């Protein structure tokens, strides 16, 4: 039996969750135009939960489609809502899947039909933190690592965003709850968020325990970590939604998102694995047109994504990036 992974205080977790919910509800009621425009000038794509990036585009078809039989017969998807969600009007069957908000358009389910991928076990769950990999997240939701065994040969992993305070970041930049009057988020929570990133993803930190636990359960598995898809447009880009925010907070959030994604990548490499992140030569942030965006600020129609989460199009891009990596 595995030693439970380290859990932060319940109070910190509740604050993060409640802030994310409050931000989503308040912003859903805000007078933001449904058709968002962008003034992006450099052609790069926003990335991370709240940031920007540029990189080498990956082929849309991935690299597995030409194989005649599964190269990976037993695939398990682990992670948080960035792995679980997609088009939330199309949830997977089953009480646990419904409770976790698993969409049939998340990247695991979009990767599964690839002829090189065999049976999928989707253990992802909205709101998951690192300890939920070895402990039950809530009633009816088993520890995610219970899905692994010695036959598992492919694992995807999206975890850590909630541990470092994604909801707190969203709550601060949108001035919700206790952050309603803070002048800027870097001063208010910057030091805390930076420390949480180091504690979660730094060498010897919580994520190293995760990789060790996966290796214990599934020693022969290929593990692919997924970095966090875009919300904010790259430097120089904006839309009606971002124009409501403090420009200093937007700039800070981009830096935080880059730090998170860099830390995800460094941790994966340090543990002998890879991380992936799709890129594009056009804007795919939540400021992009609805039929092009990889994430959505407000959620709902027309993308049917959850607020501040990937769209089905973004999940397809991530599935293609995983296919290209393996």
pLDDT tens digits, 57-73: 333 344 444 445 689 99
Tell me which residue has tokens 């910190």.
Answer: 12
- Residues 142, 86: Cα–Cα separation, whole Å: 22
pLDDT in tens, 291-321: 999 999 999 999 999 999 999 999 999 999 9
CB atoms within 10 A of CB 205: 19
Please report, for the chain, the start and end positions of each structural domain, with discontinuous segments joined by +: 10-325
Class of domain 10-325: alpha beta
pLDDT of residue 25: 40
1 confidence band (pLDDT: 50, 70, 90): very low
pLDDT in tens, 279-289: 999 999 999 99
pLDDT in tens, 218-253: 999 999 999 999 899 988 888 999 999 999 999 999
pLDDT in tens, 106-133: 999 999 999 889 999 999 999 999 999 9
* Radius of gyration, alpha carbons of the chain: 18
Residues annotated catalytic, as ranges: 81, 309
CB 10, CB 213: distance < 8 Å: no
Please give the model's pTM, rounded to 2 decimal places. 0.83
């Amino acid at each position: 039996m595995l030693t439970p992974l380290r859990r932060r205080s319940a109070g910190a977790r509740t604050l993060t969750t409640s802030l994310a919910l409050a931000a989503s509800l308040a912003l859903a009621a805000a007078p933001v135009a449904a058709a968002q425009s962008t003034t992006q000038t450099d052609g790069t794509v926003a990335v991370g939960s709240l940031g920007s990036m540029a990189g080498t585009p990956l082929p849309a078809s991935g690299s597995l489609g030409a194989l005649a039989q599964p190269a990976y017969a037993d695939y398990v998807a682990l992670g948080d809502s960035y792995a679980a969600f997609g088009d939330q009007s199309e949830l997977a069957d089953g009480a646990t899947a419904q409770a976790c908000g698993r969409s049939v358009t998340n990247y695991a389910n979009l990767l599964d039909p690839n002829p090189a991928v065999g049976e999928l076990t989707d253990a992802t769950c909205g709101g998951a933190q690192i300890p939920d990999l070895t402990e039950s997240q809530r009633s009816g939701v088993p520890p995610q690592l219970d899905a692994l065994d010695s036959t598992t040969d492919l694992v995807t992993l999206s975890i850590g965003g909630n541990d470092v305070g994604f909801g707190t970041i969203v709550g601060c930049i949108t001035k919700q709850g206790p952050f309603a009057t803070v002048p800027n988020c870097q001063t208010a929570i910057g030091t805390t968020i930076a420390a949480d990133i180091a504690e979660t993803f730094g060498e010897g930190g919580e994520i190293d325990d995760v990789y060790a636990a996966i290796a214990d359960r599934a020693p022969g598995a290929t593990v692919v970590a997924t970095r966090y898809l875009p919300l904010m447009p790259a430097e120089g880009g904006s839309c009606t939604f971002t124009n409501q925010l403090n420009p200093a907070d937007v700039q800070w959030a981009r830096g935080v998102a880059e730090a998170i994604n860099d830390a995800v990548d460094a941790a994966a490499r340090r543990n002998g694995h890879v991380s992936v992140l799709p890129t594009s030569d056009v804007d795919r942030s939540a400021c992009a047109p609805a039929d092009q965006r990889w994430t959505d600020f407000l959620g709902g129609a027309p993308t049917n994504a959850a607020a501040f989460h990937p769209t089905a199009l973004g999940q397809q891009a991530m599935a293609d990036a995983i296919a290209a990596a393996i």
